[in-house]
Structure 1
Amino acid sequence: MADTTRITVTLPTDQAEQLRKLTDNLSGYVAEAVAEQIRHDLLEEELRRHEEAYGEFTEEELAEAQERIDAAFRRDTERKAA
C-alpha cells in the first residue's frame, strides 16, 4: 500500500453532497482527481517549455495530437466499461 497522509479538505456543501452520491470511497475519488490535475499541470508546463524552445505548434501538429488524445480517451473509456 502506498504511503498516505491525512489532510482536511473543505468543499462547498453542494459538491460534497454530489460527491457522496457518486462514490463511497471519497479518499480514492479525490486522490484520483488530484493525480489527474497534477498530470495536467505537469504536461502544461512541459508543453510551454517545448514551445519556448521550438516555437508554437503547427495546426497539423495540433490536429495529430487531438487525434491521439481522442483515441486514448476511447481506449480508456472502453477499458473502464469492460
Structure 2
Amino acid sequence: MSEPTRKYSITMPRDIAEAARARSGTSGLSSYVAAAVARQIERDNLDDLIQAVEADHGAITEDEVQALRDRFQQARKQQSQGGAVPA
C-alpha cells in the first residue's frame, strides 16, 4: 500500500480488535486492518459485477459455478506440473 496514509478513528468490538492485533504481527494493526478492508472492497466490487452480469444474462447456476471451479482446478494442476494451461 504505497498510497499516502491518513489517520482514522474506528470503533469495533473489543474481541475482534484484540484478535486482529494478535494476528497482525510485525506489520501492525493498521496495516492488518487496511488489508482486510481492501479485501472486502474487492469482494464488494465482485458482487457488483456479478449482479450486473446476472441482470444482463440471468442468474449464474450452480452447474456453471462448478464447471468453472473444475477448470480452475485443472489449470492449477497443469500449471504445477509444468504443462500448458488450457484457454
Q: TM-score, normalised by structure 2?
A: 0.68
Is residue 2:8 matched to residue 1:2? no
Partner residue in 2 for 1:21: 22
Alignment of 1:1-82 (within 5 A): 1-24=2-25, 25-67=28-70, 68=72
Root-mean-square deviation over aligned CA pairs: 2.2
Output the CA distance in 2 between the equivalents of 1:14 and 1:60.
39
Partner residue in 2 for 1:80: none
How far the C-alpha of 1:47 sits from its partner, in A, is 0.3
Q: What letter corresponds to residue 30 of structure 1 in structure 2?
A: V
Gaps of 5+ in 2: 77-87
SS of residue paired to 2:11: coil
Please tell me whether Structure 1 or Structure 2 has the larger radius of gyration of its CA atoms.
2
RCO comparison, higher one (Cα < 8 Å, 6+):
2
- Per-residue CA deviations over 1:1-24 (Å, capped at 9, x if unaligned) read 321121111111112222221124
How far the C-alpha of 1:58 sits from its partner, in A, is 3.0
Q: TM-score, normalised by structure 1?
A: 0.72
Q: What letter corresponds to residue 51 of structure 2 in structure 1?
A: R
Q: How much identity, in percent, do the aligned residues show?
A: 35
